[in-house]
Structure 1
Amino acid sequence: MTDRKYSAVRRRRCARLIIPFIALVGTFAVGCSDVQKLNYEPEELSVDSARSKTKSVSSQLLEMIGVKGKVTQPGPGLAKCDDEPDAKDLYIMNHPWSVYGVSNDILKQGMENLRKSLPERGWKILKDGETKSVARDPEILAENKKLRYAAHIVWMRTSASGRPMINVTVVSGCFRAPAGTDINKEY
């Protein structure tokens, strides 16, 4: 499978996981299917601009982690806010990425850095605990209402690949595509 096809498959899989994540966060939208139920007016933004904004948020989170490891490369992907006819122009951005290639001691420090830096940078930590998985990996769920982004961060002390990593999933609130944009043709 080519890198481009792999990235597209990963984004689609991630989009299916993002919907429950947004429901868990629950601050961006009471329901994206009906604009009147949103607790904010979605910013009108081209998909490329939203992708750039999401990359910037991810970069800020990476800076807060403060770990000089390897970082996965796939960029932000688009998912529809909902398939309702009146919401054809609403979409979210999601950006899953990981930091790896360093020891668990260094990754532990990265999680500590986040606990300190997130609140200082306008993020509210909604959950700071363990995953419900057998591994009971440390996780942080945070939101930034001003930016309209949420982040789910999991320190996988032992991943399926055998290497420890911090997995980060960044999700935006809803954006409104400019008139004439067919979000079905975007990735």
Structure 2
Amino acid sequence: MLAVAVAVASLSVLSGGCGVDSPELGYAPVRMDPDPARTKTREVSGRLREMVGFEGGVTESGMSGIGCDSYADDRFTLEHSWSLHGLTGDQVDAGMETLRKALGENGWKITKVNEPNGADRDPEIFAVNEAEHFTVKATALKGGGKEPRLGFSVHSACYRAASRDAANHA
């Protein structure tokens, strides 16, 4: 849930030229129903996967729709969590370094980098794409006796569905 709060807070910075209609968000959500929003979110995830620079198996934990504006019940944001697995520890390290470089070359601004902190913290990159209103958290997961993998949590901007019912099906 903290990741969602960070993503939504990061997105509130993305108010350039949108016209504000939500005091909570700081920008006017684009009208888009859940199906096209899911397609767009998968496309952004696919481009992030390409930035890593190599193939691995993709494990999806799914896409979740979350209400994003307490002032309107037709608003939603999407969280798409997935990972690349079947990697070595060296591939995970190389993938994070390649991703770090590629993000800036592809319209993303890195907002925070958490370096490893012993066994307590895996390396993380947080970035925002202001043009597309997306945030990403990429994590190098190598410790704890688990299979090395790169984990991604991709968050869309807040969208305005055609109706409250449509938003509830995000």
Indicate whether the TM-score tops 0.5.
yes
Q: Which residue of 1 aligns with 2:100?
A: 115
CA distance in 1, matches of 2:119, 2:32: 40
Q: Which residue of 1 aligns with 2:76?
A: 91
1:120-140 deviation line (CA, Å, top 9, x unaligned): 001000112326684331110
Please list every run of 5 or more consecutive structure 2 residues that lacks an aligned counterpart in the other structure.
14-20
CA distance in 1, matches of 2:116, 2:22: 32
What is the Cα deviation at residue 27 of structure 1? Answer: 2.9
CA distance in 1, matches of 2:116, 2:153: 14
Please list every run of 5 or more consecutive structure 1 residues that lacks an aligned counterpart in the other structure.
1-15
SS at match of 2:10: coil
1:157 aligns with 2:142: yes
1:130 aligns with 2:119: no
SS at match of 1:73: strand
CA distance in 2, matches of 1:141, 1:131: 14
Structure 1 vs Structure 2: percent identity of aligned residues? Answer: 36
1:62 aligns with 2:36: no
Letter in 1 for 2:138: I
1:4-48 deviation line (CA, Å, top 9, x unaligned): xxxxxxxxxxxx34433326xx33127xxx813433211100100
CA distance in 1, matches of 2:96, 2:126: 12
Q: Which residue of 2 aligns with 1:81?
A: 68
SS at match of 2:120: coil
Letter in 1 for 2:6: F
CA RMSD in angstroms, aligned pairs only = 2.1
What is the Cα deviation at residue 109 of structure 1? Answer: 1.0
TM-score, structure 2 as length reference: 0.85
| Distance verdict in 2 for CA 1:138–1:90, change over 3 Å | same
Letter in 1 for 2:4: I
Match of 2:86 among 101, 115, 134: 101
CA distance in 1, matches of 2:84, 2:163: 37
TM-score, structure 1 as length reference: 0.78
SS at match of 2:77: strand
Q: Which residue of 1 aligns with 2:38?
A: 51
Q: Which residue of 1 aligns with 2:18?
A: none
User: How many residue pairs are counted as aligned between the two chains?
Assistant: 163
Q: Tell me which protein shows more helix as a share of its residues.
A: 1
1:172 aligns with 2:156: yes
